[in-house]
Amino acid sequence: MIPERALAGRMVAPIGLGCMNLSWAYGDPPPHDEKVRLLERAIELGYDHLDTSNIYGLGRNESLIGEALADRRGDYLLASKTGIVVKDGGARGIDCSPQAMARSIDESLARLKTDHIDLFYMHRLDRTVPIPDMVGALARAIEAGKIGAYGVSEWSAAHVREAHAVHPMAAVQTEYSLWTRQPEIAVLETTRELGIAFVAFSPVARGALGGELGDDPAFGDRDIRKGMPRFAEEHWPANRALIARFEALAAEAGIAPAQLALAWVLAQGPHVHAIPGTTSIAHLEENFATLSLDIAPATIAAADDLINQATVSGPRYSPAMQASIDTEDFA
């Protein structure tokens, strides 16, 4: 059994629920009543850390949580984010100016039907705003009781340190999985040293390690994986071969591939959390059951040796997407 871990002043299960794909990102989201049932089932199972953002479905994801779980607000730590904006014409940008964040917090509170967000992230680094100004705005929101703590997403170790020196930071959220190892360059150790929780999003490698993508995955136009290099035809066959070996390793251990992927993430430090997302109640249950498994360290080590930065084929993002990321990257 993996015990609870600290996050934003609260002890929570180290597997939380990333809510993004209930509203956006991986194809068409499920019908509304199925989304509500999944969120209700998550609380029944013991999920007590839900992660959303104002940009997921352009506010619809926050509204979904507010509608489905308003009467269960005390049962979970609520995390949301701000900073990614949609400009005229549909292009995305970043705005973490104090005025924009103050407005965004109020809008998120209204959609979430609450007066308090436990953990509020800057979704990306805004290179046009001084870090003391950004952090100062969130410190004022903490003082006003609108948010409990702040975090950042996809920030470099140097900028995490700079922000933490202005006001203590509660969490850093970054993509982290067996096949995405950028946090190991500097951020993972920095968060451990500073006593900051590390929250891994896409810990099952955007479904690649979930045991369900075959030799030729068909992604629709509404699926963001269609534009990600590792799923493209020049890289996927090599990655699929690695994944087949990974799936065999999980089967030999008597567990699901996603459970091995999650167990590996949580084994990287006692300050590490994982927030897999899903639209399937069966997968929701399977993911949370990872916490009760006793997986041999040798199996986790074998997974680490099999899928890592040196063995995976292709970068995680296209150059255009990578341009918005501050987290250190491999050469």
**CA nearest neighbour of 312 among 212, 255, 232:** 232
Q: CATH top-level class for 5-322?
A: alpha beta
Whether pTM exceeds 0.95: yes
DSSP 16: -
Residue 151 C-alpha from the chain's centroid? 12
Catalytic residue (choose from 56, 121, 176, 317): 56
Domain ranges of the chain: 5-322
**CA nearest neighbour of 250 among 267, 262, 236:** 262
Q: How many CB atoms lie within 10 A of CB 64?
A: 23
- Establish whether 56 is a catalytic residue: yes
Residue-wise pLDDT tens for the chain (331 aa)? 899 999 999 999 999 999 999 999 998 999 999 999 999 999 999 999 999 999 999 999 999 999 999 999 999 999 999 999 987 777 889 999 999 999 999 999 999 999 999 999 999 999 999 999 999 999 999 999 999 999 999 999 999 999 999 999 999 999 999 999 999 999 999 999 999 999 999 999 999 999 999 898 889 888 999 999 999 999 999 999 999 999 999 999 999 999 999 999 999 999 999 999 999 999 999 999 999 999 999 999 999 999 999 999 999 999 988 999 999 999 8
Q: CA angle, 93 as apex, 89 and 99 as ends, to 5°?
A: 110
**CA nearest neighbour of 2 among 321, 272, 211, 236:** 272
Burial (Cβ within 10 Å: 0-12, 13-18, ≥19) of residue 239: buried
